[in-house]
Structure 1
Amino acid sequence: MLELSNVEVVYDRVFLAIKGVSLRIGKGQMIALLGGNGAGKSTTLKAVSGLLAPERGLVTRGEIRFQGADMLALAPPARVASGLVHVLEGRRIFEHLTPEANLLAAYPLRGSRKRYQELRERVLTYFPRLGERARTKAGYLSGGEQQMLAIGRALMTEPELIMLDEPSLGLSPLLVQEIFAIIGEINREQGVGVLLVEQNAAAALEVVDHAYLLENGQVVMSGEAAVLRENPDVQEFYLGGAERVDYLNVKHYRRRKRWLA
């Protein structure tokens, strides 16, 4: 459904942020894009959704195709109309509007009132708390409720693929578990593909089918989620440690990532 081939992104015509990234997502798949700060995860999503220009970024090489169409030739609204939707890091909801108004703002102008009501009810089925807080301005919702609203607003566009940038950011472990469970439910019931960018690798690898690991703008590892969970390097650097080290008896300890050798 989505294919990136050897994509490079440059900021300010100087800084090379991602360097030849290639990845593929099939219809209905859940894929995670893992890595630390500055690895190029958010830049990859913005290259797909067309949101690089406000940050003076530019795709200088490679192809991005969604359901066979060249995305680089389309403006961001046309990409949304084709079935792509991007939930940005930090939620970015309309804080001065109610949850209901946020959902209405995302619904396409060409749609009917009946279809709007159907989609609204679907969103409230997945996120009943939004219905309970219907008259509250979105800026007064909790962080978890705002994240639910951001995902619900994305669902109002009836996407084929939803890209989520750090949905766990600033949330408690219990809320992260709840939101990831709902994302999995949406994927199974609606057949919506998910591209999930996360620093919380442990939580992401529990819900996705496949994962790509980025470092310094390059894909250094990819594979099935179950296989990556068992990889000692992934465990050591992203899952809290594969083995315990007695630092009292070791003066210098530094495990070198195998892909850097």
Structure 2
Amino acid sequence: MALLSLNNIEVAYDQVFLAVRGVSIEVPERGLVALLGANGAGKSTVLKSISGLLKPERGAVNRGEITFDGRSILAIDPPDRVRLGIVHVLEGRRVFGHLTPRENLIAAATMHRDRGHVSALIDRMFQTFPRLAERAKAKAGYLSGGEQQMLAIARALMTEPRLLMLDEPSLGLAPFLVDEIFDIIRAINERDGVAVLLVEQNATAALEIAHSGYLIENGRILMGGTADVLRSNPDVADAYLGGHQKVDYHAVKHYRRRKRWLA
């Protein structure tokens, strides 16, 4: 049984704009799944439907079902979804800039009552992200983009999740930092057994670490399969696998699927 399952969900904003149409995806226990697509394809909306963050943006799941560990979660509030083991790292990092890395981590540990356990978790985060240990006394707002992304992931891991959802972790980062961030994501999945749902435009980097993936366009899932299957598809290669240094995202944004994708 899948840890996370979306069955034919439909998401609308303001009860008018249909952003996601009939999306069905699964994330296995300890799996690492990539959700690929261009800007505006519906990737972030899918994540927010899982974490429960649609309501502040006047969005709602109008149809379909989302289950986590066999339990429907649509009626569960976002804080309780975190307690179930679902955590969402939003696009843009959104760390608390006026706090230090340690204080950011402490702020995410309110669900833990044992101070000793919180201290052990912080030590584990600093071991996983040595750069944060080096900048432990700096204000998070003065960290580099890569360091802020590491902090955002570490802060999410303070909740000890079973499912880690990441929205565009490579956005705005230099290629060598992208490699470092993705190596850390793979290590978290393999070492700690945390399932990962990774939303990315950088399909090249995502498919290097993912076990499987889905391609979404205009709110619909067009293709799904193992990472090898997606990499070997010529249309995916032409549109998305130009490499993080060569890909023209403007062209990707306006790409339209070819007929053989429907075959």
Given that 2:88 and 2:156 are in contact with CA atoms closer than 8 Å, whether structure 1 keeps it comes out as yes
CA distance in 2, matches of 1:55, 1:82: 23
Residue of structure 2 equivalent to 1:155: 157
Residue of structure 2 equivalent to 1:251: none
Q: Which amino acid aligns with 1:235?
A: A
Q: Of 7, 10, 21, which aligns to 2:9?
A: 7
Post-superposition Cα deviations, 1:161-217, rounded to whole Å, max 9, x if no partner, equal 000000000000100000100110111110000000000000000000000000000
Residue of structure 1 equivalent to 2:240: 238
Given that 2:112 and 2:118 are in contact with CA atoms closer than 8 Å, whether structure 1 keeps it comes out as no
Structure 1 residue 17 displacement after superposition: 0.1
RMSD (CA atoms): 1.4
Structure 1 residue 256 displacement after superposition: 3.2
Q: SS state of the match for residue 72, structure 1?
A: coil
Structure 1 residue 257 displacement after superposition: 5.1
2:107 is the alignment partner of 1:105: yes
Give the number of aligned pairs: 249
Q: Of 211, 214, 235, which aligns to 2:213?
A: 211
CA distance in 2, matches of 1:188, 1:44: 24
Q: Which amino acid aligns with 2:24?
A: S
Q: Of 192, 198, 209, which aligns to 1:196?
A: 198
Given that 1:32 and 1:210 are in contact with CA atoms closer than 8 Å, whether structure 2 keeps it comes out as yes
Residue of structure 2 equivalent to 1:249: none
CA distance in 2, matches of 1:210, 1:255: 20
The answer for unaligned runs of 5 or more in structure 1 is 242-253
Q: Measured at CA, do residues 110 and 123 of structure 1 come closer, stay the same or move farther in structure 2, by a change above 3 Å? A: closer
Q: SS state of the match for residue 74, structure 2?
A: helix
Residue of structure 2 equivalent to 1:70: 72
Given that 2:73 and 2:81 are in contact with CA atoms closer than 8 Å, whether structure 1 keeps it comes out as yes
CA distance in 2, matches of 1:55, 1:203: 30
The within-5 A match list for 1:1-261 is 1-240=3-242, 256=258, 258-259=260-261
CA distance in 2, matches of 1:101, 1:255: 46
Q: Which amino acid aligns with 2:125?
A: V
- Tell me the percent identity: 64
The answer for unaligned runs of 5 or more in structure 2 is 244-255
CA distance in 2, matches of 1:181, 1:87: 17
| TM-score, scaled to structure 1 | 0.93
